[in-house]
Amino acid sequence: MTPSHPTLDRRTVLASGAAGAALAGAAGLAAGAPARGAPAAARPTAGRPSRSAPVFAHGVASGDPLPRAVLLWTRVTPTAAAQPGSGEGPRVRVTWEVARDAAFRHVVRRGVVETGPDRDHTVKVDVGGLAPATWYHYRFRCGGATSRTGRTRTAPAPDAMPDHLRFGVVSCSNWQAGWFSPYRGLAARDDLHAVLHLGDYVYEYGPGEYGYGTADTDIRPHDPPHEMVSLSDYRRRHAQYKTDPDLQRLHAAYPWIVTWDDHEVANDQWRDGAENHSDDEGSYRRRRARAHRAYDEWMPVRMDGTARLGDGDRLFRRLTFGRLAEISMLDLRSYRDAQVASAVGFPVPPADPALGDPDRTITGEQQLRWLEDSLSRRHAQWKVVGNPVMIAPVDFGTVPHDLLDPVNDVTGLLPRDGLPYNPDQWDGYTADRRRVLEHIRDHGIKDAVFVTGDIHSAWACELPLDPATWPLGDSAGVELVCTSVTSNNLKDITGSPARTTSVAVEEAIKLANRHVRYLDFDNHGFSVLDLTPERAQMDWWVISDRADRDATITWSTSWATASRTGRVTQVDAPVGGA
């Protein structure tokens, strides 16, 4: 369904509400073999498309690297009729090759797979028998055409201790809101091991519904030219995104580790519905199944632990990078209960007691137990959690925990962690959050790092057990939040010049939330997460203008947490280069 007026995205409401409230209130992966040691021929500039590239118009990709396996992806267009989402075209055989060199003189694995309209002519191959911590090159052939060459890398051996690991971090890439310059910036680097995409890889809206700022304008309109609802719609939208040259370069340069947030289906989705779904759009469960099927087909990810298409929609999974890090990717949409009414606004409305209801969940019980197990595993040092929405509490006032029970004996209203401004985050499901943070404390878990997207802004936070008394007390770890690639931030929504209105909002939020150490509501870009045995560091890189296809890219800031501290401090230089 295409609304008769522009849809106001939940993040637009949140950022605008936060601004008003704040302003009023303020009156080689193996040791000795780092990624930068990759040979020049293996760098992302290699592997340009062949003359037959229209057959492989959507590029190549790899994902979910294991020590001896990696998933490869492409999509073929064998005939003019076999367009994405059309259901047309013949079944064809596609040959794949994996080599140690870009010239494919030393091919180590090859095979043939079939694809057809039943899977939208996409190809996913789980290639095993590879060596750990090794760069490989791969390509596909079909009907005399050859794809561009992709580059990928396997994870370290289980018992290896890398001297460092380095990941690009991105989220919230809205085609209509601008050019994907952050992808260009990451693809130009030669020092990463993989890319983490934390959700909102595609957006569901039609042209004019949610794009560049709050006006009814788009930098480039979506296809299909309406909100995506059908399976064909979701397939076409994924296909459109994968025609972006900067996205294609980044997929071809590094393996990706992805999860979804809400816009891969519909805004503010939950287990049985979504804010941006109405009855005249049919069954929500059927719509979600179509969206998940298209995601499975078009993304380089193992669903339910395998590469077979249509094998399910379980996305939460764990990847180990030797003894240095383990990455647990969460799905915070498929199992959650419905969100409570938003607490955005000023003055702040009364708190909904459902915020802290232990029977409400954001993870679902199975995933929550799995996360606790991931955090408790002693094999790897850094417990990195790929977290689609913020877990750090962000609120308009808290009451110390030792006063909560007496107050609630009288009022029964106060959630344990204050009055949140965004109940779509873990703030709206405080029982689950408290269970996770207390599990970390009670089991003596150190070096937990939640890496988060969703909120179109940059944050560096500590995770206090009691926000009201912070910085006294224990920290369960840290949270590092990347900006959006293009999706609207506070500056875009208010139309204010950079570092004007936003500064007052940022300072007011930090004043009310002392565990929030860094906040930037103004920029778009990407982040780089670097892990060593001594510390975890996040660098934020920002673009000059999302409406400029040739936007410049500059370093903004860096924050790090020393091992076993659970605190973040600002550092004076980024890692590597760009």
Residues 212-260 have pLDDT tens digits of 976 668 999 999 999 999 999 999 999 999 999 999 999 999 999 999 9
- Say how far apart CA 9 and CA 407 lie, in whole Å: 35
Average pLDDT over residues 89-93: 97
CB 58 within 8 A of CB 120: no
- Say how far apart CA 212 and CA 501 lie, in whole Å: 19
The pLDDT, as a whole number, for residue 502 is 83
The residue type found at 432 is D
Lowest mean pLDDT among 140-144, 316-320, 338-342: 338-342
The pLDDT, as a whole number, for residue 501 is 80
CB 50 within 8 A of CB 453: no
Strands (E), 171-267: 194-197, 256-258
Domain presence at residue 366: yes
Average pLDDT over residues 104-121: 98
CATH number, residue 221: 3.60.21.70
Q: Which residue is listed with tokens 């990759």?
A: 38
Confidence label for 463 from pLDDT (cuts 50, 70 and 90) = very high
Is the pLDDT at 398 greater than 70? The verdict is no
Q: What percent of the chain has pLDDT over 70?
A: 83
Whether omega before 245 lies within 30 degrees of 0, making that bond cis, reads no
- Say how far apart CA 63 and CA 254 lie, in whole Å: 8
Lowest mean pLDDT among 28-32, 46-50, 280-284, 530-534: 28-32
| DSSP 8-state code for residue 547 | T
Domain presence at residue 5: no
Backbone angles phi, psi at 333, to 5 degrees: -120, -40
Q: What percent of the chain has pLDDT over 90?
A: 74
Confidence label for 12 from pLDDT (cuts 50, 70 and 90) = very low
Is the sign of the CA dihedral 285, 304, 196, 394 positive or negative? positive
Listed residue (541, 376, 393, 523) closest to 469, CA to CA: 393
Domain presence at residue 426: yes
The pLDDT, as a whole number, for residue 310 is 62
| DSSP 8-state code for residue 352 | P
Average pLDDT over residues 175-194: 98
Q: What is the pLDDT of residues 40-72, one digit of tens each?
A: 334 443 334 344 458 999 999 999 999 999 999
The pLDDT, as a whole number, for residue 14 is 47
Whole-structure pTM over 0.85, yes or no?
A: yes
Domain presence at residue 116: yes
Q: What is the pLDDT of residues 473-514, one digit of tens each?
A: 889 999 999 999 999 998 888 888 888 888 888 888 888 889
- Say how far apart CA 547 and CA 537 lie, in whole Å: 29
The overall average pLDDT reported for the chain is 87
Domain presence at residue 576: no
What is the domain range of residue 266? Answer: 10-27+36-571
Task: Tell me the residue length of the chain.
Answer: 578
The pLDDT, as a whole number, for residue 496 is 81
CB 293 within 8 A of CB 285: no
Is the pLDDT at 381 greater than 90? The verdict is yes
Confidence label for 25 from pLDDT (cuts 50, 70 and 90) = very low
Question: 516-520 and 458-464: which strand pairing?
Answer: antiparallel
The pLDDT, as a whole number, for residue 421 is 64
Q: Could you give the number of structural domains in the chain?
A: 1
Confidence label for 312 from pLDDT (cuts 50, 70 and 90) = low
CB 517 within 8 A of CB 458: no
Average pLDDT over residues 433-446: 97
Instruction: Return the structure tokens found at 422.
Output: 């965004």
Is the pLDDT at 282 greater than 60? The verdict is yes
Domain presence at residue 1: no
Average pLDDT over residues 567-576: 96
Q: Which residue is listed with tokens 């979804």?
A: 260
Domain presence at residue 359: yes
Q: How many CB atoms lie within 10 A of CB 445?
A: 18
Q: What is the pLDDT of residues 151-169, one digit of tens each?
A: 999 999 999 999 999 999 9
- Please tell me which residue, 342 or 276, carries the higher pLDDT value: 276
Is the pLDDT at 343 greater than 70? The verdict is no
The pLDDT, as a whole number, for residue 403 is 41
Is the pLDDT at 409 greater than 80? The verdict is no
Is the sign of the CA dihedral 105, 110, 113, 119 positive or negative? negative
Domain presence at residue 465: yes
